[in-house]
Each structure stands twice: as C-alpha cells, then as structure tokens.
Amino acid sequence: MKYLETYSNDPEYNLAFEEYCFRHLPLENDEYFFLWQNGPAVIIGKNQNAYQEVNDDYVRGHNLKVVRRITGGGAVYHDLGNLNFSFVAKTKENQTIDFKRYYIPIINALEKIGVKAELSGRNDVTIDGQKCIGASQSVWQGRVLSNGCILFDVRLEELSKALNVRKEKLESKGVKSVRARVTNIKPHLKRDISVSDFKAELLKAIFELEGQEPVEYKLSASELEGVKKIYAERFSLKEWNYGASPKAEYSHYERFPIGSIEVFFNVKNAKISDLKIHGDFFGTKDVAEIEKLLEGCEYEKNAVSKKLAETDLKAYFGAIEKDEFIGMFFR
C-alpha cells in the first residue's frame, strides 16, 4: 500500500483528487491510502438533495462551500479540526458495499494511539455511543473507494448549525439533536496533541498494521492535469454540487434500515415523469438508471412492478425489498 498527499485544503480540489485516484491510478500491484483536510465546508452524499440537507442561510452567511462527493451516505461538516481518510483498492465487479473491511484498520490504528472505538450501525464508528467517524463508499469497474470523516477537534456547534437533519433520522439514532449524537476524538486522548500530530500518528499506525513503512506515491504532471480536469468539469460547478431543486407534484420520504429514500415525480397523462430519487443510501449502481427506467411508466402499481421485475434494487439502495420501494409511489 502507498500513501498519497493532496497538498490542499480546498474541498472541491480534494474531492477531484480523490475521484481521479479512484478511477485512474494503477491497481495491479498497489492499494492507496490518504489522509486529507478541508477548509470549512459541507460535503453532501452523491444522492442527496442539497436544498434539504444544508442550512443555506447559515452556509452562505459563513462562506462555507457545499460540495457533492461521488460516494453515497449523508451530509457532513468539515473544517481543519477534522481528518478525512480514503482507501482506493481493487475489488470484485459484483462487490457489495462493505464498510467493515476498511474500518477495521482505522479502529485498530486508533487503539494503538489510545482511543477505544467500535463499529456501530451501518457506517459509523462510535466512542461510548457517540459518533466520531462516518464513512461512505463507491464501487466501480473492479475498484472500490472507501472514504470517511474523522471528528478530531471539529467545531461541533458549527456542525449542528450548518446541517439540516430530519427528525426521523435523529429518532432512528435515539437522540434529539445532531450535537448530542457526535463527539470529537481529542477529549478521549490521554495527552494533548494537534490534528497534524494525530494525522502523523494515525498514518504511522495504519502502515505498521500493514507491516510496511509509508511510501508516498506522487502524482505525475499529467496525472495532476487529470485532477484539474475533474475539478473544472465537476466539483467547481454549482450544477454538480447543488443540482436542481426537484419540482414535483408528488413526493414521499421514508427511512429504512439502509438509510433514507425520497422520491419526487410528476404524473402526466397517467404516466410517471420527471422522477428524482434522493437519500443517504448506499449502492453500487447509479439511481439515475432507475429514474430513466421509470420515466413514462404507467402510474399504476402493477405497471411499475413489471418495469422493475428484472432489476436488482439492492444494487442501487442496499437491502430493501422491491415492494417497499414501489409502495413509496402510491402512499
């Protein structure tokens, strides 16, 4: 395994760097790991509706960037008090989302530093029941990107003000507020260290567990041009980061064990149109394929069921039953 450095705190550039590494770095004999930091920003999941997840007045008033990542899951607040990690590796073409495989090295490394953390729920790491790490993942053409956000010394009051979190999600976690649900790692350490010291110790611990010395892979000039291209064509654009606010006659939100799903659609001439699917679910396939498949479908339960008969919804949303998804259109 080799490690990478982005040499940037710009969230738009860093997410472009991450995507380039995920899609283009050679994986025949190597895996890659990097730790990186963003300036103040809200990072939303690939399938989320930015206009619902972000406190827009607060974000604009405090000059926070809003950036959409290419992995699923929910919105997170970043500042220089948190540390992000990314693993890029080979995987099987039909690989399902697997957080445990990439969380275990992080949890073991934290234990070496003196922090007792544990896996909780579908994609969280907690200390004494409070979330300190959240992760997301994407699988594409035999490659996996597993990334996460480590709360080391984040301004938690800013976090709670920048995000809009639905009551249903908080209730599913057994808490009444975002602030009550999360904790920083720093107070749980027996010594006072900076985030840069924590980064260095975590990097060392990760590679010790691999039985290796850290060796940096430096992107070439042409590879860095590839990063800049992705930055210019995706992450610097409001069209990608915010997307269009769905304008729909019908909508329905539901929270499942695999996360939230919300459908927005119109019905024209008794047929489904303008379908948009949002949520903090994780899947290995793009829900745009489902939106396209159901466009123009007769707005009738049997017709929708027939359209989806050959479709494995678990590849798009995780472990959800087909009847549960179809039922969302007819509530």
Residue 59 and residue 177 share a domain: yes
What is the reported pLDDT for 170?
Answer: 39
Residue 119: CATH number of its domain: 3.30.930.10
Which pLDDT score, from 0 to 100, does residue 176 have? 38
- With a CB cutoff of 8 Å and minimum separation 6, the contacts of 124 are 131, 133, 134, 135
Domain boundary residue, one of 212, 241, 270: 241
Q: Are residues 209 and 73 in the same domain?
A: yes
The band of 230, judged by pLDDT with boundaries at 50, 70 and 90, is very high
pLDDT of residue 173: 46
Query: Do both 195 and 302 map to the same domain?
Result: no
Task: Give the residue numbers spanning the domain of 320.
Answer: 250-330
User: CA angle, 43 as apex, 40 and 46 as ends, to 5°?
Assistant: 165
Summarize pLDDT for 254-279 with one digit per residue, the tens. Answer: 999 999 999 999 999 999 999 999 99
Residues 169, 296 within the same domain: no
Taking all residues of the chain, what is their mean pLDDT, rounded to a whole number? 91
Same structural domain, 219 and 137: yes
Q: Looking at the structure, do residues 233 and 265 belong to the same domain, yes or no? A: no
CATH number of the domain that residue 309 is part of: 3.30.390.50
The reply to whether 298 and 220 lie within a common domain is no
Average pLDDT (142-151) is 94
Show the tokens assigned to 292: 């396209």
Question: What is the total count of domains within the chain?
Answer: 2
Of the three residues 193, 218, 241, the one that is the final residue of a domain is 241
Neighbours of 305 (CB within 10 A): 12
32 with 90, same domain: the answer is yes
pTM for the full predicted model: 0.90
- Interval 85-142: pLDDT, tens: 999 999 876 666 778 888 888 999 899 889 999 988 778 899 999 999 999 999 899 9
The predicted structure's pLDDT at residue 180 = 64
Q: Which amino acid is at 311?
A: T
Same-domain check for residues 26 and 123 = yes
Both 230 and 257 in one domain: the answer is no
Residues 96 and 209 in one domain: yes
Mean pLDDT of 48-61: 93
Q: Are residues 167 and 270 in the same domain?
A: no
Say which amino acid occupies 213: E
Greater pLDDT, 35 or 100 = 35
Q: How confident is the model at residue 59 (pLDDT cuts 50, 70, 90)?
A: very high
Q: Pairing mode, if any, of strands 32-36 and 2-4?
A: parallel
192 pLDDT above the threshold of 90: yes
